[in-house]
């Protein structure tokens, strides 16, 4: 999700700092661990704040250490909501934290409060759609994705979610049209290409599905959904 994304949905666009030039120094194990702690906290903060994580549940497997950091982020956003309860951004951030913790009902409540506060809040529609999609509440997911796409037609994530809902509803022509639009907005995105592969697979076009899964892997050789797609079509 933007805030999300769901996403899903985890998808999260990562930012990296420029590397410092100069003599390389060998780091101790403790120094490396501290560096990864810092990076993880930054990543989680970015993830929850921009919510671009389309299909988060498919991409991340939280360790105990990660869960502890996530709980800290959750408490941070809960404190923000308590301090400014009428801020829709805080509501979406808290809802996204609930989603990552597996508490979808609480996440939905927060996203709906955000929409009560701002009827045109894109992030709330997108994240709400992601949760509905995960719960197979497909008509509701499609409705949220459609509204998000109307508010931000140039944002590929709403079209990706919309296309996914169409595919699950077996409305394949609509899915292809919407996913193709998402692909135009964000070429080379592994989520979009893999979703197009799933559409081809469900339509029985195994050759095209295989080509699309392989195309996704050209961008990310370790992308799990595409690898699983290849395994499925190879078994058919």
d(CA 32, CA 167): 43
Q: Taking the domains of the chain in order of start, what are their residue ranges?
A: 34-138
The domain defined by 34-138 folds into 1.25.40
Token pair belonging to 97? 């934290």
For residue range 116-127, what is the model confidence (pLDDT) as tens digits? 999 999 999 999
d(CA 101, CA 77): 13
The predicted structure's pLDDT at residue 184:
98
DSSP reduced 3-state for 55: strand
Element housing 35 (H / E): helix 29-50
d(CA 198, CA 112): 31
Torsion 155-103-109-140 (CA) sign: positive
- Report the interhelical angle of 88-100 vs 29-50 (nearest 10°): 120
Instruction: Divide the 236 residues of the chain into consecutive groups of 10 and give the mean pLDDT of each group.
Output: 42 34 38 45 42 38 63 93 97 95 96 98 97 97 98 96 98 98 97 98 98 98 97 94
The predicted structure's pLDDT at residue 210:
98
DSSP 25: -
The predicted structure's pLDDT at residue 132:
98
Q: DSSP string spanning 113-182?
A: HHHHH-TT-HHHHHHHHHHHHHTT-HHHHHHHHHHHHHH-TT-HHHHHHHHHHHHHTT-HHHHHHHHHHH
DSSP 4: -
The predicted structure's pLDDT at residue 185:
97
The predicted structure's pLDDT at residue 57:
36
Which residues 6+ apart lie within 8 Å of 185 measured at CB?
Answer: 154, 155, 156, 159
- CA separation, residue 145 to residues 25, 119, 122, 138, 163 (Å): 48, 14, 10, 10, 9
The predicted structure's pLDDT at residue 69:
83
Beta bridge mates, 8: 55
The predicted structure's pLDDT at residue 190:
97
Q: What are phi and psi of 47, to 5 degrees?
A: -60, -45
DSSP reduced 3-state for 79: helix
Report yes or no: 229 and 197 within 8 Å, Cβ to Cβ: yes
């Amino acid at each position: 999700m933007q805030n999300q994304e769901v996403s899903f949905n985890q998808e999260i666009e990562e930012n990296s700092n420029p590397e410092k030039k100069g003599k390389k120094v060998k780091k101790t194990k403790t120094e490396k661990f501290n560096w990864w702690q810092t990076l993880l906290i930054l990543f989680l903060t970015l993830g929850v704040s921009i919510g671009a994580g389309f299909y988060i549940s498919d991409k991340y497997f939280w360790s105990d250490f990660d869960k502890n950091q996530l709980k800290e982020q959750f408490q941070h956003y809960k404190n923000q909501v308590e301090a400014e309860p009428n801020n829709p951004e805080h509501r979406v951030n808290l809802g996204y934290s609930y989603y990552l913790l597996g508490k979808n009902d609480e996440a939905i409540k927060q996203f709906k409060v955000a929409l009560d506060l701002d009827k045109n809040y894109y992030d709330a529609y997108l994240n709400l759609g992601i949760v509905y999609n995960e719960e197979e509440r497909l008509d509701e997911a499609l409705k949220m994705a459609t509204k998000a796409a109307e508010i931000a037609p140039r944002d590929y994530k709403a079209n990706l979610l919309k296309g996914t809902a169409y595919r699950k509803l077996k409305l394949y022509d609509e899915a292809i049209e919407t996913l193709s639009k998402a692909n135009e907005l964000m070429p080379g995105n592994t989520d979009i290409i893999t979703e197009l592969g799933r559409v081809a697979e469900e339509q029985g076009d195994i050759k095209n599905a295989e080509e699309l899964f392989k195309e996704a892997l050209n961008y990310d050789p370790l992308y799990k959904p595409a690898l699983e797609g290849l395994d499925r079509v190879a078994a058919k």
